[in-house]
Chains A and B, each alone.
Chain A
Amino acid sequence: MTNSTGFPIVLGLDTFGDHEHDAGDRPLSHAQTIRNVVEEGVLAEQVGVDFFGIGEHHTDDFPMPAADVVLAAIAARTKRIHVGSAVTVLSSDDPVRVFQRFSTLNAISNGRAEVVLGRGSSIDSFPLFGYDLANYEDLFEEKVNLFAELLKGGPVTWQGHLRPSLNNQDVVPYTEFGPFPAWIGVGGSPQSVVRAAHYGFSLMLAIIGGSPARFRPFSRLFLQALEKFGREPLPIGVHSPGHIAETDEKALEEFWPRWLHIITKMSRVRGFAIPTMESFRFEVGPQGALFIGSPETVAQKIAANLKTLGANRFDLKFGMPGLSPDSLMRNIELYGTKVIPRVRELLSITAALK
């Protein structure tokens, strides 16, 4: 099945390594949470999910700084599912190392690795690695530029301001079958969309608040920018948070207290007023960015948004710190066995009507 731009429909899952609690609401260790994420990736393949992504984070709520190591463990235990980042915070990483790690992951997984590069909406890696937040945009711009060079393969010659230059440098391991898929995660900036097109990266729209429909012009901008730069069309994906349970009520009940806790913490860090139940209800509704509910509710919302946005891929960011392993495994199972087939069905009905 393909979308209007001819790319296959891809339905994936993302996690940030959200710190899990046991059934009695006691926090598990970071180590156990990480082992559970490996099991979640393995289950995702078993139930037919196309992609499993892990987003780099550096806090007690999301103890997942070395996502690619965990991806390698999943790759070693799976055959079919694609594995990748969601996102790799390129601004505070080294592009050569990122290339090497994902090229290695690509080797281990027999060509199933994908990298999603981002500036990082969570900024904890900046002080950790000694980067200045004031260079937030410049670091990303420069490192994306270098990463695009590395992805071409062959010895690299490159010059920048914020990282030492490379002079005819061989970077291994070579990729086996050409470059692995690379995406840029974009929040709300049209300039970031044009940058992705400029470098020939696929576009991953991170829609985590407000109406997904407002991103519609971004898909058009991406395709027109690709054309302007003389490039072929490239895939467009959507990443949004959510939670699936047997019923809408159960999903909301499980998710809301965990979400409120985290969003309250985040609000303090960002200086935002704490969201209310009313704003949560809006985000869960058809105009909002949270994909929470029964399989049918979530499938309808995914299908509608893929159509609206002209996207061929949706990655549901599942989990929230404090949710139990049982609830997460159930979420994955429902996503694979119920939501994915239903989304495909809904999209083929639309296609048949055209």
Chain B
Amino acid sequence: MSGSVVPSSVQRIAVLGAGHVGPVIARLALDAGFEVAIAASGSPQDLELITQVVMPGVKAQWAADAAAAADMVVLSIPLHRFPALDPGLLAGKLVVDAMNYWAPADGVVPMFQDQELSSSEIVQRRIPLSTVVKSLNQIAYQDLEDGRRPAASADRHAIGVAGDDPGAAKLVGEIIDRFGYDPILLGSLSAGRVLQPGGPVFGAVLTRSEFERAIHATAGQA
């Protein structure tokens, strides 16, 4: 389905979306030593003051420019805006899907109503020329920065990484590790369902063993 578009390494990260989540992910990436650009629906000028004050060092760009120059693109736009996003912007890119679908709180988005598929599988189908990995969606944005811990800390927290392309998932896992979290690789986008709202680890800040226990407890029930 997706072509092999996994870069050999990631240096430049583009974050699409400058709401609650995007700026936090941009700061995580910047702190981890990446070159970071951020884009919202409007012009870079509209974002300049925000980037200067809230994420100094991050470059405000048009979405198309940010995505074109990036090795990896993080999607942190409101999910109901995703259907209007031009798939061409993301063609040939490694894309991290940090979005969530939860109709009771966010409204129904018809594109995402198929209960047989995880929301990231639907994202992948919509952008077939990209390689989608689901991650960074499950810890609440207000906990993402304070939750970071150095590698090998006993109380390091875990973030799930789900992808159909093992190389892409591994690469994103390495980036999550640099951000300050233990990556937990899940075998496929479909398996990434456990990371979604309503799943056992959504909104929770857990260590690796707590994370794994929570997932297995759910698998046991199913």
Contacts and interface: CB of A to CB of B under 8 A. Distances in A.
A271 B198 contact: yes
A133 B145 contact: no
Contact of B50 (A191, A210, A270, A273): A191
A221 B203 contact: no
B105 A269 contact: yes
A287 B146 contact: yes
A137 B105 contact: no
Contacts of A133: 105-108
A272 B141 CA distance: 13
A267 B25 CA distance: 23
A273 B53 contact: no
A15 to B, nearest CB: 23
Contacts of B145: 214
B23 A190 contact: yes
A16 interface: no
Given A191-B18, A211-B146, A270-B102, A132 B107 contact: yes
Contacts, number: 89
A271 B198 CA distance: 4
Interface in B130-172: 140-143, 145-146
Interface string A276-288: 0001000000010
B32 interface: no
Nearest to B103: A133
A210 B140 contact: yes
A269 B104 CA distance: 7
Nearest to A289: B142
A187 interface: yes
A273 B201 contact: yes
B109 A134 contact: yes
A191 B19 contact: yes
B54 interface: yes
B19 A273 contact: no
A28 B73 CA distance: 52
B180 interface: no
B12 interface: no
- Chain A contact surface mostly: helix
Contact of A191 (B24, B40, B214): B40
B146 A137 contact: no
A137 B20 CA distance: 13
A123 interface: yes
B177 to A, nearest CB: 23
Interface in A197-221: 209-211, 214, 217-218, 220-221
A211 B105 CA distance: 24
A252 to B, nearest CB: 21
Interface string B24-64: 10000000000000001000000001100110000000000
B205 A279 contact: yes
Contacts of B53: 190, 217, 220-221, 224
A209 B20 contact: no
A136 interface: yes
B203 A270 contact: yes
A272 B203 contact: yes
Contacts of A188: 20, 24, 141-142
Contact of B202 (A191, A209, A273): A273
Nearest to B141: A188
Contacts of B204: 272-273
B78 interface: yes
Given A137-B78, A271-B102, A190 B50 contact: yes
A161 interface: no
A190 B197 contact: no
Given A134-B109, A221-B54, A228-B49, A210 B196 contact: no
A189 interface: yes
Nearest to B51: A190
Interface string B92-106: 000000001010111
B200 interface: yes
B214 A194 contact: no
B80 interface: yes
A162 to B, nearest CB: 14
B197 A272 contact: yes
A139 to B, nearest CB: 11
A37 interface: no
A18 to B, nearest CB: 21
26 contacts: A132-B107, A133-B107, A134-B109, A136-B106, A136-B107, A188-B141, A189-B20, A190-B18, A190-B50, A191-B19, A210-B146, A217-B53, A218-B54, A221-B50, A221-B54, A269-B105, A270-B102, A270-B105, A271-B100, A271-B196, A271-B203, A272-B140, A272-B197, A272-B203, A273-B201, A273-B203
A-B interface, 9 closest residue pairs, ranked by CB to CB distance from nearest: A271-B197, A133-B107, A272-B203, A210-B142, A273-B204, A134-B107, A271-B198, A188-B20, A221-B53
Interface of A: 123, 126, 132-137, 187-191, 194, 209-211, 214, 217-218, 220-221, 224-225, 228, 267, 269-273, 279, 287
Interface of B: 18-20, 23-24, 40, 49-50, 53-54, 78, 80, 100, 102, 104-109, 140-143, 145-146, 196-205, 214
